[in-house]
A and B are shown apart, each in its own frame.
Chain A
Amino acid sequence: MTPVKNWLLASTVATLLAAPTVSTANSDLEKLTQDPANWATWGGDYAGTRYSKLSEINAQNVKNLQPAWSFSTGVLRGHEGGPLVVNGVMYIHTPFPNTVYAIDQKTQSVIWEFTPTMDADVTIPVMCCDTVNRGLAYGDGKIFLQQSDTVLTALDAKTGKRVWSVQNGDPKLGMTNTNAPIVVKDKVITGISGGEFGVRGFLVAYDIRTGQLVWKGYSMGPDKDTLIDPKKSTAWKDGKVQPVGENSSLSTWEGDQWKIGGGTTWGWYSYDPKLNLVYYGSGNPSTWNPTQRPGDNKWSMSLWARDADTGEVKWVYQMTPHDEWDYDGINETVLVDQEVKGKMHKTIVHFDRNGFGYTLDRETGELLVAEKFDKSVNWASHVDMKSGRPEVVPEFSTEHNGEDVNTVGTCPAALGAKNMAPVSYSPQTGLFYISGNHLCMEYEPFEVSYTAGQPYVGATLSMMPAGADVLTGKKDGTTNLGQFTAFDAKTGKIAWSNKEQFSVWSGSLATAGGVVFYGTLEGYLKAVDAKTGKELYKFKTPSGIIGNVNTWEFDGTQYVGVMSGIGGWAGIGIAAGLDDGSDSTNSEGLGAVGAYRSLGSYTKLGGTLTVFALPK
């Protein structure tokens, strides 16, 4: 692969505007996030809790909520992420072409807008799953935009003028970006997408003032690439935290396959300023056919803690060794302090595509809790707490059954019990609020597949409703494809769960008003009671919601905002990826297939920001 580093530095446009002192960027951002009038980072705070102390809108009055104003982004593709609000100014973004708007809330008019120059012919064909973008980052007086074509751009937050740009990856190698960066101290941290092109994932830090590369840690490869110190970096083994040892990644791959190993980093990143550690998850190994890549394929499918200054790995934990199911491990990590089994821990909580909710000590990487947040999940019976490995159920393993045999009823489906939509956490209830999918899948071998001119024997993957109770896993013949679930990560128990007709693909928001908000694929913004899950309010926005619900205060009023705009995998994958119903093997899915088909009658494409408030 082309060494990215060399031309990366060359292409840095370092038109340094008079920047404020950098060392304060971190504490500035921390301060900004502590004021609930702002929503200054994707997760609301560094910990990624998506919790707001605002309580003007509460469980009693939320039924009176009304749309206050709205704004069309002018783009039709899927709208992920959500609005940032910093010192009264709102910043929103669009899918490709990645236009950024700074909006004056008083006049609801555009202060500035910026559209980067990108070559659609080069970028769009390599974006597997719609041209989404998950949002902006703020810090040091700048707005950071991670463009689809991998260019990371810093804009002056006041004027929208470009301060610098850096090429983060090479689109010609299939690299793209969809993630929201985060600002940590004097660095901006970002990742990479493109696992389906064999891209080897990395997390990377750039200097916030110049865009110069500071560190880059790969998901797999030699220790010098992963920034793993074999003696200092730890992993969970035999019931305790131990040094990972030398070449912990290379020893789990055959030959050179790690070079196109995947483990991309297209999710969300969080940060603990006290521990100075950055947290995130890495994606699936990129060789598609699991039998062709023997081994655990480390460190794909893993949770990571890296030193923010050096990138050195503090600890790493692999959730799904040798993935056979596409349980891409990139979902967000939430940092909260909780008492687990009688002891207070600084914990990290992660709800994985594989259906398990993991609670680890975020300082040490000690595995504390690993329980299913949807009991229909069956690919593994449980996670062995001593080894930290899932106990895989052979019946649901294509590799165990053989590639020439149908593997039926594996839950969850490849898109996961939960996809990328970030959870929220309320310290009032101690619960996490999970936007979930409720689907299973079936592999039917012997279909002829074709990739860029090469035919091969592949498999048909069909999805169907789980048809089982989230709380017990018992078959119940239900056809809902989504669940919105409250989960106690201290004990691993589900508190309550609401059925949704379609998968829930929108990041939720919890507030001190005792309300939890989320969006649905039909386009509803919903508010539910944080304690009980009772629906308190809903409003139909112009299109399906795959964005995150955020909240802030302006001129003494609490606002709740969300971008609607169906698309992403939810739009192209969920709505259309199910069996067409003509296949007799999928008869039990027919009801839900009908339901998915009807998504098109609920909603159409189109990006709109809708802002809600209580009537004055």
Chain B
Amino acid sequence: MRKLPSITKHLFLCCLAGSSFTAQAEDKFRVCADPLNPPYSTKLLDGYENKIAALFAKQLNQEVEYFWLPARIGFIRNTLKAENDNGDGFKCDVVMGVPSGYDLTETSKPYFHSTYALLIAKGRGWDDITSATQLANLPLQKQESLKIAMFDRGPGTTWLQKTGLLAQGIPYQSMTGDSEHNVAMQIDKDLRAGTIDMVILWGPMAGYVKSQSPKDSYIVIPMESTPDMKFDFSIAMGVRHGDNARKQQLNDLIDKNMPEIQSIIGSYGIPLLPIPAQAEKKDDDD
């Protein structure tokens, strides 16, 4: 049953038509978020998505209200698109981070652009690595001692495969079943324990792992996209399809607060790239 996420891409569209209501009628800024997914969001409100939500809510003179659910299969279905128990709307209205053009939600304009990065723990015999291609050109014997994490579906895994290093990859689940433990936390733990020495990790998570250890514990090498391997993505906010007023409101807030947003995200050590113009979803089919 694994392919559900893609199959449910258009979940409940049927039921949503005509039931969207205007953002102006709301008195709360209602966010769907994972209670333990650093550096994105946590119940302690110390993730960068929490801070941006607080910033937006303040400017709207609203309170932030969270609907918490671990970000796993069915997250959008069970949060943004799930009706309230009292049947008067939805459990929450905004997902603070989704890829630009994500089709489970309508997406706002992008508010940052990052990339996957090769993160190498220093002092494990790999300190001379300065580019990912070096790994591909190592002598076979040296390659066999690689301890590099990989994730199902991630571009890091595709890269390992295309460079002939797939057999060296140590497979990790893209999502954990543990609501008290997330992927970035697991990678941080295993890097420190020496279970793995390196990983190709999405920018925000790479920033998180780096921030959990003393300065200069890691080499961080941004991965470069090629025509058949995409490592860099724009991140936007997600609202329900058809919730155009709220989308407009978010776009205005993003425009108005761009320097502040960039500074919040920058403070998490996340590798940032310029937002490409074409990253914004071109067609709005609603």
Contact = CB atoms under 8 A, between A and B. Distances in A.
Q: Is A bound to B?
A: yes
Interface of A: 121-122, 125-126, 128-129, 170-175, 193-198, 254-257, 259-260, 262, 266, 283-284, 286-289, 291-292, 294, 326, 328, 404, 414-415, 447-461, 463, 569, 572-573, 575-580, 582-583, 596-597, 600
Q: Which of A196, A291, A458, A582 has the most CB of B within 10 A?
A: A196
B140 interface: no
Contacts, number: 210
A133 to B, nearest CB: 15
Interface stretch (B70-78, B129-137, B213-221, B263-271): B70-78
The 9 closest A-B pairs by CB, nearest first: A174-B177, A172-B178, A452-B175, A255-B167, A448-B99, A196-B2, A198-B173, A455-B99, A577-B7
A572 B11 contact: yes
A454 B11 contact: no
B6 A460 contact: yes
B153 A461 contact: no
Interface in B182-205: 182-184, 202, 204-205
Contacts of B230: 456-457
B8 interface: yes
Contacts of A458: 6, 153
B6 A197 contact: no
Interface residues of B, number: 70
B211 interface: no
A449 B153 contact: yes
Nearest to B98: A450
A202 B153 CA distance: 24
Given A174-B176, A454-B202, A457-B155, A288 B171 contact: no
B73 A196 contact: yes
A298 B146 CA distance: 26
B58 interface: no
Interface string B263-286: 000000000000000000000011
Contact of A454 (B100, B103, B151): B151
A116 B44 CA distance: 31
Nearest to A194: B177
Nearest to A124: B78
Interface string B42-70: 00000000000000000000000000011
Nearest to B151: A454
Q: Which of A284, A415, A461 has the most CB of B within 10 A?
A: A461
A580 B157 CA distance: 32
Interface string B88-124: 0000000001111111100000000000000000000
B1 A569 contact: yes
A126 to B, nearest CB: 5
A398 to B, nearest CB: 12
B7 A573 contact: yes
A575 B14 CA distance: 9
Given A126-B177, A292-B152, A575-B14, A256 B6 contact: no
B45 to A, nearest CB: 17
Nearest to A289: B153
B222 interface: no
Contact of B158 (A198, A292, A463, A578): A292
Nearest to A573: B7
B191 to A, nearest CB: 17
Contacts of B158: 289, 291-292
A576 to B, nearest CB: 4
Q: Which of A122, A254, A450 has the most CB of B within 10 A?
A: A450
A414 B3 contact: yes
B202 A452 contact: no
Given A255-B168, A452-B175, A453-B202, A576 B153 contact: no
A452 B155 contact: no
Contacts of B180: 172
B166 interface: yes
Nearest to B161: A292
B40 interface: yes
Contacts of B173: 173-174, 197-198, 260
Contact of B161 (A173, A291, A569, A575): A291
B170 interface: yes
A423 to B, nearest CB: 19
Given A125-B70, A198-B152, A450 B102 contact: yes
